Amino acid sequence: MTGVVARDYAVRAVVRAARLLELLRASEGGAPLNELAASSGLAKASVFRMLRTLEGLGFVERPDGSDTYRLGVRCLELGQAYLEQTDLRREALPVLERLRDRFDETVHLGVLDDEYRVVYLEKLDSTQAVGIMMSRVGKTAPSHCTGLGKALLAARDGDPVGALVERGALRRYTPNTIHRPAELRRELTRITRRGYALDLEEHEPGVRCVACAIDGPSGSAVAALSIAGPAQRVAEESLRGELAAAAREAAREIGLRLGAARREVAS
Amino acid sequence: MTGVVARDYAVRAVVRAARLLELLRASEGGAPLNELAASSGLAKASVFRMLRTLEGLGFVERPDGSDTYRLGVRCLELGQAYLEQTDLRREALPVLERLRDRFDETVHLGVLDDEYRVVYLEKLDSTQAVGIMMSRVGKTAPSHCTGLGKALLAARDGDPVGALVERGALRRYTPNTIHRPAELRRELTRITRRGYALDLEEHEPGVRCVACAIDGPSGSAVAALSIAGPAQRVAEESLRGELAAAAREAAREIGLRLGAARREVAS
DNA sequence: GTACTGCGTTTCACACAATGAAACGAGACC
DNA sequence: GGTCTCGTTTCATTGTGTGAAACGCAGTAC
């Protein structure tokens, strides 16, 4: 899926609309017409029509009647509906809760989006040290330097590292960030072999975690979960040992539940 | 959808794509192609192309590779971005927190979407009796029988009640629901006059609340806040008295902060 | 005051993108 | 094997989305 759509199917106007929404998402607190026209590379008139269409649909709004466009409430409604509808989250929740309670560390559930970013679907906070991690449901994070991300990349077929390189996504966030393609590829094979991914302060300084991919009914990974905590509390040995084992077991259980849920629907 | 866009500007393909997303949102856990084709009234081939386009963009996904389409992660990302970008929420939060702490009752912040539904932007739970209300950030609720909704409808110009009638939205949820247009109109004038809206178990049995509209810099209402609690704890007199006063004051303060924030940006 | 500049808006003729009918193929069911 | 139903593909047609350019309206400079 390096192209936007499998075949040459692709309704151009819709792709363009999505591009504008993405620009608005990236832009802090909205952008004026001209800016969007410039950065999208489309004609001003086209952008104008698009934005007005999106505004009428609630995907975009202009505070009172000003000239700066920002994302609209409709986006929130859809996002919330997505969360409610995904059975992944529903099935995973009890398992994640047990995991959190057992170690009292922060637990995450996440997937990759089409840009190879990690998107958090669930976050269960540890009772200790709440708020040191900047993760949050719906937020995105880079995949090459997070536990969730690396676990999911390792489970992808094709050449995810290549895709990341193309996008110039291999930024360095901390001294530990693996930012060289070759090294990242080695790391991914290692992850596949041992069945879990580590993040040793590669994204946020002071935060370590262990993550495992969750296999869906079809056998391929549909999500991943992680257990994360402050570096001074979680030793690398415990990450590799007890925590990794617990994470793998939890991932396996969620996978089974997903299969069961699917079969139930089918019947 | 009495006219999706002001003039005749409206990119048809985008409007159609939005219609499909809305259908998926309403449908529990996804829908197959044929169903979407039927309920959207579009040709099967068109729906097919649309869905594939949306899938490529991440707005829609198919679990493994099945035939049922559901909303995709991209929706969640946008929704989260919307929440983070709106300065309404940012400015309101500290004020709402004070309000919640003062009475230890659940506090809401919400807006109307383009279909005249209430959308919750923030919910601060009371420490007592958590979970009796089904509200949640990003969820929608009817406007004619909620405090937030009525406060916002009352502040709208035009004929919001007429719009609700057209949509057949005046459903009855409890014996107390105001479902007659004429009566609702009277209620709205009453609300405008006294400056706050009540919900006396009109939406959820056992839940009462008082709500006030928040005026943005331009003077018109941009949102509303409410204080809600179980009927047996919050007496109607205290709703009309102490709580209403506190809600009005909080709404006023948020309005001022919004004005200030806007002016800051402008400078 | 005028000239200028930067913005959102509108117009318009053209081109080709999006469309839907219909044909196709795969799988399930009987 | 026949007959459904469903997703997929093809293809000719047309009307939709397009961008260049013109417009109008601010604000600013001078």
The answer to whether strand C lies under 7 Å from the CB of residue A13 is yes
The answer to whether strand C lies under 7 Å from the CB of residue A73 is no
CATH number for the domain that contains residue B212: 3.30.450.40
Partners of B7 on chain A (C-beta within 8 Å) are: 52
Q: What's the rounded Cα separation, in Å, for the pair B196 and B194?
A: 6
In a domain, A80, yes or no: no
Widest CA span of chain A, in angstroms?
59
Contact between B14 and A9 using a beta-carbon 8 Å cutoff: no
In a domain, B92, yes or no: yes
Q: Which of A75, A98, A126 is the last residue of a domain?
A: A75
Q: Is A139 left (phi over 0), alpha (psi -120 to 50) or beta?
A: beta
Q: What's the rounded Cα separation, in Å, for the pair B186 and B194?
A: 13
Asked if A171 reaches chain B (Cβ–Cβ under 8 Å), the answer is no
Asked if B77 reaches chain A (Cβ–Cβ under 8 Å), the answer is yes
Q: What's the rounded Cα separation, in Å, for the pair B93 and B82?
A: 15
In a domain, A222, yes or no: yes
Could you tell me if A181 and A204 lie in one domain?
yes
Could you tell me if A26 and A106 lie in one domain?
no
Residues A213-262 pLDDT 10s = 999 887 889 999 999 999 989 999 999 999 999 999 999 999 999 876 65
In a domain, A192, yes or no: yes
pLDDT for A67 equals 86
Could you tell me if A170 and A261 lie in one domain?
yes
Could you tell me if A90 and A69 lie in one domain?
no
| A148 contacts A226 by C-beta, under 8 angstroms | yes
Give the SS3 label for residue B137: coil
pLDDT for B260 equals 67
Query: How many domains does chain B fold into?
Result: 2
pLDDT for A267 equals 40
- Nucleotide minimizing C1' to CA distance for residue B45: C20
Contact between A113 and B78 using a beta-carbon 8 Å cutoff: no
Please give the structure tokens belonging to residue A254.
């969620």
B71: nearest CB among A18, A49, A82: A82
Instruction: Give phi and psi for B221, each to the nearest 5.
Output: -70, 130
| A188 contacts A157 by C-beta, under 8 angstroms | no
| B8 contacts B15 by C-beta, under 8 angstroms | no
B178: CB partners within 8 A, 6+ apart: B144, B145, B184, B187, B202
Per-residue pLDDT at A193 exceeds 50: yes
The amino acid that residue B36 corresponds to is: L
pLDDT for B261 equals 64
pLDDT for B217 equals 80
Residues A99-115 pLDDT 10s = 999 999 999 999 999 89
Please give the structure tokens belonging to residue A204.
């946020």
Query: Which residues in chain B show pLDDT less than 50?
Result: 1-6, 266-267
B64: nearest CB among A65, A119, A218: A218
The answer to whether strand C lies under 7 Å from the CB of residue A10 is yes
CA atom of B65 to C1′ atom of C25, Å: 18
- C-alpha distances (whole Å) from A147 to each of A110, A120, A178 are 10, 12, 12
CA atom of B228 to C1′ atom of C21, Å: 55
CA atom of B18 to C1′ atom of C6, Å: 33
Partners of A70 on chain B (C-beta within 8 Å) are: 82, 85-86
CA atom of A62 to C1′ atom of D28, Å: 26
The amino acid that residue A164 corresponds to is: L
pLDDT for A132 equals 79
Could you tell me if A108 and A162 lie in one domain?
yes
- Nucleotide minimizing C1' to CA distance for residue B6: C9
pLDDT for A263 equals 55
Instruction: Give phi and psi for B222, each to the nearest 5.
Output: -110, -15
**Chain A 42-81 contacts with nucleic strand D (CB below 7 A):** 42-46, 49-50
Asked if B109 reaches chain A (Cβ–Cβ under 8 Å), the answer is no
Residues B8-26 pLDDT 10s = 678 999 999 999 999 999 9
Give the SS3 label for residue A213: strand
Partners of B18 on chain A (C-beta within 8 Å) are: 57, 59, 74
Q: Which of B25, B55, B77 is the last residue of a domain?
A: B77
In a domain, A3, yes or no: no
> A98 to chain B, minimum CA–CA distance in Å?
21
Could you tell me if B67 and B108 lie in one domain?
no
Could you tell me if A61 and A91 lie in one domain?
no
Start-to-end CA span in chain A (Å): 32
pLDDT for A218 equals 78
> How would residue A42 be classed by pLDDT, with cut points 50, 70 and 90?
very high
CATH number for the domain that contains residue A32: 1.10.10.10
Q: What's the rounded Cα separation, in Å, for the pair B240 and B148?
A: 15
Start-to-end CA span in chain B (Å): 38
Beta strands A140-141 and A197-200: pairing type? unpaired
Please give the structure tokens belonging to residue A90.
């529903």
Contact between A17 and B15 using a beta-carbon 8 Å cutoff: no
pLDDT for B262 equals 58
pLDDT for B5 equals 38
Per-residue pLDDT at A177 exceeds 60: yes
Could you tell me if A222 and A187 lie in one domain?
yes
> B207 to chain A, minimum CA–CA distance in Å?
23
Could you tell me if A42 and A153 lie in one domain?
no
| B199 contacts B211 by C-beta, under 8 angstroms | yes
Could you tell me if A208 and A242 lie in one domain?
yes
Partners of B56 on chain A (C-beta within 8 Å) are: 1, 3-6, 10, 15, 114
Could you tell me if A100 and A194 lie in one domain?
yes
In a domain, B6, yes or no: no
**Chain B 46-105 contacts with nucleic strand D (CB below 7 A):** 48, 52, 67
In a domain, A6, yes or no: no
pLDDT for A262 equals 57
Number of H helices, E strands in chain A: 10, 9
Q: Which nucleotides in chain D have some atom under 7 angstroms from a protein Cβ?
A: 5-11, 16-21
Contact between B5 and A53 using a beta-carbon 8 Å cutoff: yes
Asked if A72 reaches chain B (Cβ–Cβ under 8 Å), the answer is yes
Partners of B230 in beta bridges: B207
Contact between A114 and B58 using a beta-carbon 8 Å cutoff: yes
CA atom of B17 to C1′ atom of C18, Å: 13
A81: nearest CB among B10, B25, B217: B25
In a domain, A7, yes or no: no
The tally of CA atoms less than 13 A away on the side-chain side of residue B159 is: 8
Search chain A and give the residue with CA nearest B27: A85
Going by C-alpha positions, the residue among A153, A147, A156, A136 that lies closest to residue A176 is A147
Search chain A and give the residue with CA nearest B219: A64
Asked if A32 reaches chain B (Cβ–Cβ under 8 Å), the answer is no
Tokens 């840009």 — which residue? A115
The parent domain of residue A64 ranges over 12-75
Q: Which of B32, B48, B77 is the last residue of a domain?
A: B77
Could you tell me if B149 and B260 lie in one domain?
yes
